[in-house]
């Protein structure tokens, strides 16, 4: 029997993890050998995917970084289009990373290939006018937020809410034995500066300056952990910390284990992105932080319409369950002040935990990858 071929594409660390879980679910449901090829990260590689590009190189965000890397990105798109035509996959499965992945899906669909996209683009924030176009070149859209399928109701595209894949990962982390982590203080604070080079270099110095102020407020009895998603990101973070003008006494990096770090932490400062939702699922009182180049920030302000919050947990909840410190509001003083309140105000902490629990209940009951795989199998007529 010829293997069932799936071209699978994930451009960031979070997408790599979701893609790897979906790969496992598909293997268990397709009655025969399956080959995966495309681009992604370490989780997909460990799951047996042949990677043509790694997330270390392609996780690029922001106007300036994209322009700087444009020749590489255009070359990558051309290569992947040639790969689709040469390899002739039975399915082109794109996971998040919409800027590039939807272009590949459009190309593949135009050449007669079956296309499925996992993790709905944030059209509720970025140009709802894109909805009809997306519906024309996807055969199936797998959504991870409950309000997303309704956005495509007026189109012929089948959009399915599968639940959020992080619900399962969070349950696994809570059920696992506690990880031995190098905390060296009574007050435990997680610092997550992001998974992109530009984020780490911009955000980490402010996090470290805030940690120093928090140490002073708490008499020095603090421990700070930074979970690094990849060895490359750990090396970059350690270099940025070494060059920072100030840093706390008890600071350590750990490889991966972000959810365990958040589970054990009493408070966290997290760069906007999927990690903020992980913090919510781990029931860790969190301050969402972000800063970007002026060009990127102004472009985002112009493009994002009708969304009051940046953080995913806040968008799902419909209110601010995580304070947001963005751009010029993201100062060491403000961040240290909010973290100090989480660590010392028991009433605030109790209210925050209740709000996080209510938000988590909206994300589904689990088995998102299984539900997504079943929807794909049904769409392909393999059931």
Is 358 a residue whose pLDDT tops 90? yes
Nearest to 40 by CA among 25, 27, 61, 21: 21
Per-residue pLDDT, 333: 97
Is 326 a residue whose pLDDT tops 80? yes
pLDDT classification of 129: cutoffs 50, 70, 90: confident
What is the widest separation between alpha-carbon atoms in the chain? 67
pLDDT in tens, 332-349: 999 999 999 999 999 999
- Helices 165-175 and 13-29: crossing angle in degrees, nearest 10, is 90
pLDDT in tens, 194-227: 988 888 999 999 999 999 999 999 988 899 999 9
Per-residue pLDDT, 304: 54
Is 305 a residue whose pLDDT tops 60? no
Per-residue pLDDT, 53: 95
Average pLDDT value for the chain: 92
Which residues on adjacent β-strands are paired with residue 223? Answer: 188
Q: What are phi and psi of 140, to 5 degrees?
A: -155, 135
Strands (E) located in the chain: 4-10, 34-40, 50-54, 91-95, 115-118, 140-143, 158-161, 187-192, 222-228, 251-255, 267-271, 286-290, 324-326
Report the alpha-carbon angle 20-278-21, nearest 5: 10
pLDDT classification of 142: cutoffs 50, 70, 90: very high
Is 34 a residue whose pLDDT tops 70? yes
Q: What is the dihedral of CA 326, 327, 330, 332, to 10 degrees?
A: 160
pLDDT classification of 52: cutoffs 50, 70, 90: very high
**SS3 for 309?**
coil
Rounded Cα gap, residues 58 and 76, in angstroms = 9
pLDDT in tens, 62-86: 666 778 888 889 999 999 999 999 9
Is 106 a residue whose pLDDT tops 60? yes
Is 299 a residue whose pLDDT tops 80? no
Q: Give the residue-averaged pLDDT of 109-136.
A: 91
- Percent pLDDT > 90 in the chain is 75
pLDDT in tens, 264-292: 999 999 998 889 999 999 999 999 999 97
Per-residue pLDDT, 124: 78
Is 44 a residue whose pLDDT tops 70? yes
How many Cβ atoms are within 10 Å of 80's Cβ, its own excluded? 22
Is 167 a residue whose pLDDT tops 60? yes
pLDDT classification of 131: cutoffs 50, 70, 90: very high
Residues 6+ apart with CB under 8 A from 334: 325
pLDDT classification of 300: cutoffs 50, 70, 90: low
Q: Where do we find the tokens 């109701």?
A: 153
Per-residue pLDDT, 298: 63
pTM, full prediction = 0.75
Per-residue pLDDT, 13: 84
Nearest to 38 by CA among 47, 30, 26, 29: 47
Domains of the chain with bracketed CATH: 4-164+364-380 (3.40.50.2000), 174-363 (3.40.50.2000)
Q: Give the residue-averaged pLDDT of 226-237.
A: 92
């Amino acid at each position: 029997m010829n293997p069932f071929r799936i071209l699978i594409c994930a451009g960031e660390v979070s997408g790599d993890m979701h893609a790897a879980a979906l790969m496992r679910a598909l293997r268990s449901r397709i009655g025969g050998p399956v080959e995966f090829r495309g681009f992604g990260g370490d989780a997909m590689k460990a799951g047996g995917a042949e990677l043509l590009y790694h997330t270390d190189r392609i996780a690029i965000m922001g106007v300036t970084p994209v322009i700087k890397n444009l020749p590489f990105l255009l070359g990558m798109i051309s290569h992947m289009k040639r790969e689709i035509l040469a390899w002739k996959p039975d399915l082109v499965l794109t996971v998040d990373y919409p800027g590039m992945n939807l272009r590949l899906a459009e190309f593949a669909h135009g050449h007669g290939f079956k296309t499925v996209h996992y993790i709905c683009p944030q059209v509720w924030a970025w140009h709802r006018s894109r909805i009809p176009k997306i519906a024309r070149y996807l055969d199936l859209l797998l959504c991870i937020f409950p309000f997303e399928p309704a956005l495509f109701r007026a189109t012929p595209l089948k959009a399915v809410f599968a639940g959020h894949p992080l619900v399962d990962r969070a349950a696994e982390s809570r059920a696992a034995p506690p990880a031995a982590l190098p905390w060296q203080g009574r007050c435990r604070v997680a610092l997550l500066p992001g998974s992109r080079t530009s984020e780490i270099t911009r955000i980490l110095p402010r996090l470290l300056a805030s940690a120093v102020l928090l140490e002073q407020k708490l008499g020095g009895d603090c421990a700070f952990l930074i979970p690094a998603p990849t060895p490359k990101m750990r090396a970059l973070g350690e270099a940025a910390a070494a060059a920072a003008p100030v840093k706390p006494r008890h600071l350590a990096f750990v490889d991966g284990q972000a959810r365990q770090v958040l589970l054990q932490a009493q408070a966290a400062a997290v760069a906007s992105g999927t990690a903020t939702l992980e913090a919510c699922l781990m029931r860790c009182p969190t301050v969402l932080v972000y800063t970007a180049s002026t060009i990127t920030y102004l472009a985002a302000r112009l493009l994002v319409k009708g969304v009051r919050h940046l953080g995913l947990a806040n968008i799902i909840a419909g209110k601010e369950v995580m304070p947001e410190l963005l751009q010029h509001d993201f100062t060491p003083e403000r961040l240290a002040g909010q973290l100090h309140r989480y660590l010392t105000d028991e009433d605030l902490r109790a209210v925050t935990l209740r709000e996080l629990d209510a938000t988590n209940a909206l994300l589904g009951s689990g088995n998102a990858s299984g539900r997504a795989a079943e929807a794909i199998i049904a769409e392909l007529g393999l059931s």
